[in-house]
Amino acid sequence: MNLPNKLTLLRIILIPLFVLFVYLQFVGHYFVALGVFAVASLTDFFDGYIARKYDLVTDLGKFMDPIADKVLVLTAFTVMLCYPFYDNAFAFAWEGWGFVFGGIGLSVISAREMVVSSLRMIAAKKGVVLAAEKIGKVKTFFSDVTIVWMLAAGAVIPLSEDVGKVLCVAGLVLFGISVVL
């Protein structure tokens, strides 16, 4: 297994650690979760960069990388919708409509990802590997920024509720962009 594929595998391994640190209750757990998520997100950039720069692109990497991205992003959005803090955070933002908007958005993103993954599987059965497109990379970038933003809101709300509310509203706007992409 080459380095880019190992980085993709690392991203997959970091997903349960991210969830663990969101749910563990200790001072600074949001910052740790944010750090784990940031490292996982950066592996997405570096695995592709290294694979292209050093001609290490493999069919396994083309297949695994988008799946790892989808699982990371969908897990993070789901955790944020299910975790009690984010229920309160979404209640801050637009008086509860943020939570409804988040649930609808997650449904749209999940459906889109299932369709894309299904098309990838159909293509793979025909011997064709579909690599990620530019719009998919932009979508992943916006999703990652949204998640980091909302994790920052989670870390800030105990310190300053007003700043946390502003971060939540801005995070929901970013989330809306992720849904549209």
Give the CATH number for residue 76: 1.20.120
Distance of CA 178 to the CA centre of its chain: 10
Q: What is the pTM of this model?
A: 0.83
Burial class (CB in 10 A: 0-12, 13-18, 19+), 81: middle
Is residue 86 within 8 Å of 80, Cβ to Cβ? yes
Q: Which of 9, 175, 4, 23 is nearest to 90 (CA)?
A: 175
Q: Residue 85: which pLDDT band, with cuts at 50, 70 and 90?
A: low
Is residue 36 within 8 Å of 21, Cβ to Cβ? yes
Q: Residue 3: which pLDDT band, with cuts at 50, 70 and 90?
A: very high
pLDDT in tens, 106-162: 899 999 988 988 888 898 788 887 766 788 778 888 889 988 888 888 777 667 777
CA pair distance 36, 17, nearest whole angstrom: 7
Is residue 34 within 8 Å of 79, Cβ to Cβ? no
CA pair distance 96, 58, nearest whole angstrom: 45
Q: Which amino acid is at 129?
A: V
**Number of compact structural domains in the chain:** 1
Length of the chain: 181
Q: Can you give the residue range of the structural domain that contains 21?
A: 3-180
CA pair distance 36, 141, nearest whole angstrom: 16
CA pair distance 87, 106, nearest whole angstrom: 14
